[in-house]
Amino acid sequence: MKFTPPAGDHSPAGVFDAATSGNAVNQVQFTYNDFGQSIQTFQEHDGTVNTGTTPSVQRGYANGSTNTVRPLSLTYPNGRELTYGYGTTNEINDALSRIGSIIDDDFSLTHLVDYEFLGLAGVIQQTSPQPNLRYTLAGVSNDPDTGDIYTGLDRFGRVKDSRWYNTSTNADLSRIQYGYDRASNRIWRKNPVATANSAEYDWLYTYDGLQRLKTANRGTLNNTQTALTSTAFKQDWNLDPTGNWEGFKQSDNGSTWSMEQERTANPVNEITDITNTVGSAWADPAYNAVGNMTTIPKPKQMDEAYTATYDAWNRLVKLEEEVSSTLETVAEYQYDARNFRVVVKNYDSGVLDETTHAYFTDGWQNIEERTDSSSTLSQHHIWGLRYIDDCLLRDRTTTTTLDERLYALQDANWNVTTIVDEAGEVQERFEYDPYGEVQQLDLIFSSSANTNKWIVAYGGSHYDLHTKIYDSRYRCLHFKLGKWTRRDPLRYVDGLSLYERVNQLNTIDPYGLDVLTVDQWWDEWSENLLPWDTLSQWQNKNFQLVKTSIPKGHFINTAQAGCIGVTFCMLGFPGYTLNPSGFELRDGFLPDLQHCYRDPEQARLRMKDMNETKECCKGFGTNIYGTRTEARLIAIVWNNGTPGGAREIAINEKNGKFSLNGKKTWNAILSRPPASAGDYFNFDFFYFNPDDALWYHANNGFGNVNPMVVLRKNDKEFKEKIKSYEDNKRFNEIAYCAVCQAEWGDANANKSK
C-alpha cells in the first residue's frame, strides 16, 4: 500500500559523523502538498538544512480544481524552471495528462523536446526544434516486413533501427541497426554512419548455450549481416557455469591476439587471480569480508591498482593510489541519506584539485552541479521522459554561466553515441565495447580527446573521467574486469553471480541492482516517472495498483510496448492443456476467478492467507520453470469479448466473488478468434514466453490480448469509452485478484515441462 505523507514540511533525513552523536555532515528535507506529492526537496551538503539558504529542487503540480494534479514544472536549485506542455485543451495529450513537451524558461520559451506516441506512453518519435534534431522509430512508408510505418521495430516489437537525423537536411547524425536470434539476443549491430565514413564500427556477436556473450567482433558487416568483410577488433570469453570469466582474449587489430588471459574466482564469484599468458600483467583484485573490492585495478593502467575504502553501508567513499611507497588520495565521495552521491572530491598528486556538488531529483537524476564552492554553477542536465537515464542535453559553464549546450543522441541500450551543438553539428562521437570501454571519436570517427568532458556514457551511466569507473547508483562498474566492484545488494535476483554484469547487450541496469530487458523500461522507470494524472476512475483505481505490483525482473519485449505483463501460476484447473500456440501447460495453470474480488481489501486478505498457509498454486509454489512464487495483488478490467455482448463473468453480490457465467469455459474464451473489425482481441499466447497469462494493455494495437483486458483501437475512442466503463456495455467489472507470481523463464528451453 502506498504511503501518502501529510502536507507540509517533514523531518529531515541526515548523515552524521558518529553513530550516536556528532555533527550533521549533510541533510535532506522534503515538503509535500495536500495530495501527498513531493513539491520541494532541500539538499544541504554541509550541515543541517536552512530553508532560507539551502539549495532545493521544486516540483509544481496542478491543484486539483479541474480534476487533475498532474506535474506542471521542475525548478532547479539555481531557479531555472522547466515546464511540461500538454498541448491544446481537450486534445489527446491534455485529456490523458500526457506530457507532450518539455519547455525551457528562456526568453524564447524553447521547446527542448516534443514527443509523439505509440499507444498510451510509448515514445515513437521525439524532436528537439533548436538543433533540428529528431529521433524516430517511424518511416514515411510501410515497412515491407511488418506492414506498418514503424520501420524501427521488427515483427516482435524489438528495436531494429534507431535513427537520429537532422530535420533540415534529413542527414543521419547517428543510426544504429540491430539483428536478433530466436532467443532475442542481438547478434549484430550495424553503424551505417560509420561505414559511410570508412570506419569499422559494426559488430557481430555469438552466444553460448546459456545465452551468454561468447564472442564480439568489430569491423564491417557484409550485406546479409552474417559475417564481417574486415575485422578491426575482437574479444572472446570462456565462462564458467555462474558467469565468471575463466578465459578472455582480445585482439586490438582483429587478427592476432594482443591479450590472452586466465582467471580464477572463489565460490562467491570474487576474482582471486588474473594471469596473462599474452600481454602485460594485470593487478589482482582483492576484497574485504563483505565482498567490497578493496584493491581495484586502474582501468587506465591495469598493472596498477587503487586502494578503496567503503563506509558501513558498503558505499565507496575513498580511492587512493600508491606513489613512491606512499598512499595518495585520488578521490573522496560523500552520500546523503537517500544514498545519492552528492559530493565528489578529486585530487591531483594527493592534493585536492576540485570539489563537485551534485543536486538530484527525487527520482535520482543529477540535474545540477556546482564546482568548488556550492554556489559556483558548472552544469545542468535535462532529462527526458523515456527512461531514467534519457539524457536530452547538457548545459555547461565554459567562459560564462551555462554558455555551452550539447544534445545527447542515445542508441537502444541508452549508450550515448553522439553529441551535437545547438546548430545540430556533431561535436563528438562515442563507441563502446560490450562491457563499456569507450572510445572518443570526432565527426568522421577518428580518435580524439574528450574535450567536452562528457560524462553520460555507457547505458546512460555516469562515467567518472578522473578514475574511469562507471557510477550506476548502487554500484560501480569496472569495464575492464566486466564486473561490479561490490556484491549485488539484491543477491541472486538476476543471475547466479553476485558481481556479473548480466547479459549486457540485451539488458539495462540503471541502478546496478537488477537487469531489465532493453525494451522493459516502463516496468522500472514507471516507479520514478513524473506522476500520471487521472484520466478516469479506471486509471485512478487500477493503473497505479497494477504498475506497482509487477516484479522488476519480468520479461517484456517491445511487442508489448505500452503493456505491463504479470507472470503468475494460476489456480485450480487439473490436467494438461494445450494453449492455441502449442505450448503444453502444467497442472493448475489456467485462471481461477475464485481468487478475484470486487473489493481490493478482500483480495489482500486472500493474498495474506496464500502467503501464510503456503498453499500458493495448490502446493506447487513455483511457476512452470521451477521458479518460486509469492502471492501478489493485481487489478484487471474484464470486458465482454464483444461490445455490448453477454457477460462472460458472473458476480456473487453477497461476497463479491467472480466466476465464469453460464456455460462459458476457459478453453472457449482462450480460443475465441480475434474480431478483425471489433474493439477487442483475445489472448492466444502469441508472445515469447507462455507464462505471460494476464496483461494490462495500452491502446497501441500490438498483438493479441487476453479477454480480461480492454484494448481500444485509437486514443480518441479509448478516451471517450473509458469514461463510461461502468455502463457494462463496453466494460464490465474491475476485479482485484490475489495471484501467485514468479519470475520469467526460458520458454524455448522449458516448454516441454
pLDDT tens-place string over residues 215-239: 999 999 999 999 999 999 999 999 9
How many beta carbons lie within 10 A of that of residue 20, not counting itself?
Answer: 5
Q: Indicate the burial class of 611 (C-beta count within 10 angstroms; 0-12, 13-18, 19 or more).
A: middle
CA distance 54 to 46: 10
Q: In this structure, are residues 401 and 121 in contact, taking their beta carbons and an 8 Å threshold? A: no
Cβ(446)–Cβ(274) under 8 Å? no
CA angle 162, 163, 164 (to 5 degrees): 135
Cβ(214)–Cβ(233) below 8 Å = no
| pLDDT of 108 strictly over 90 | no
Highest mean pLDDT among 414-423, 579-588, 699-708: 414-423
Q: Are 420 and 407 in contact (CB under 8 A)?
A: yes
Please say if the pLDDT value at position 402 is more than 50: yes
Per the structure block, which three cell numbers stand in for 567?
A: 507472470
Helices then strands (H, E): number in the chain?
A: 9, 49
- Judged against a pLDDT cut of 70, whether residue 622 lies above it is answered with no
* Least reliable range by pLDDT among 106-120, 249-263, 531-545: 531-545
> What is the CATH number assigned to the segment(s) 110-540?
2.180.10.10
d(CA 543, CA 703): 21
153: confidence class by pLDDT, cuts 50, 70, 90 = very high
Whether residue 672 is predicted with pLDDT greater than 80 in this model: the reply is no
Amino acid identity at 433: D
262: helix, coil or strand?
Answer: strand
- Residue listed under C-alpha cell 545488494: 489
Average pLDDT on 355-380 reads 93
The 10s digit of each residue's pLDDT in 77-91 is: 999 999 999 999 999
pLDDT band at 18 (very low <50, low <70, confident <90, very high): low
Tens of pLDDT, residues 381-400 = 999 999 999 999 999 999 99
Helix boundaries (H) for 209-318: none
Measured at the alpha carbon of residue 385, what is the angle toward residues 162 and 2, in degrees to the nearest 5?
135
Q: Would you call 607 helix, strand, or coil by DSSP?
A: helix
Task: Quickly state the pLDDT bin for 634 (edges 50, 70, 90).
Answer: low
Q: Are 271 and 283 in contact (CB under 8 A)?
A: no
Cα separation, 206 vs 179, in Å, equals: 12
DSSP output for 475-500 = EEEETTTTEESS--TTTTTTSS-SSB
Which pLDDT value is given to residue 658?
Answer: 46
State the Cα–Cα distance between residues 674 and 293, nearest whole angstrom: 55
- Residue 16's pLDDT band, with cuts at 50, 70 and 90, is low
The tally of CA atoms less than 13 A away on the side-chain side of residue 386 is 28
Section 132-160 average pLDDT: 93
Residue 483: what pLDDT?
Answer: 95
- The whole-number pLDDT of residue 359 equals 98
pLDDT in tens, 453-469: 999 999 999 999 999 99
**Looking at residue 490, what is its pLDDT?**
82
- Which range, of 240-249, 348-357, 740-749, averages the lowest pLDDT? 740-749
Give domain limits for the chain.
1-54, 110-540, 563-577+587-619+629-643+657-744
pLDDT at 432 over 90: yes
Condensed to tens digits (0 to 9), the pLDDT of residues 724-747 reads 443 433 334 455 556 555 443 333
- Rounded CA gap, 209 and 202, in Å? 24
Question: DSSP per residue over 694-729, as a string?
Answer: EEE--SS--S---TTS---SSHHHHHHHHTTGGGSS
pLDDT for res 655 = 53
More confidently predicted of 573 and 198 = 198
Confidence of residue 119 (pLDDT cuts 50, 70, 90): confident
Question: Residues 175, 164: contact at Cβ < 8 Å?
Answer: yes
At residue 666, the pLDDT reads 40
Q: Which residue has the cell 558518529?
A: 18
Lowest mean pLDDT of 419-433, 561-575, 642-656, name the range: 561-575
Q: What percent of the chain has pLDDT over 90?
A: 57
The answer to whether 687 and 743 have CB atoms below 8 angstroms apart is no
Residue 98: name the closest of 535, 439, 442, 594 by CA. 535
Query: 714 pLDDT band (50/70/90 cuts)?
Result: very low
For the stretch 251-282, pLDDT in tens is 999 999 999 999 999 999 999 999 999 999 99
Helix (H, G, I), strand (E, B) or coil at 9: strand
Q: Kindly report the average pLDDT of the chain as a whole number.
A: 76
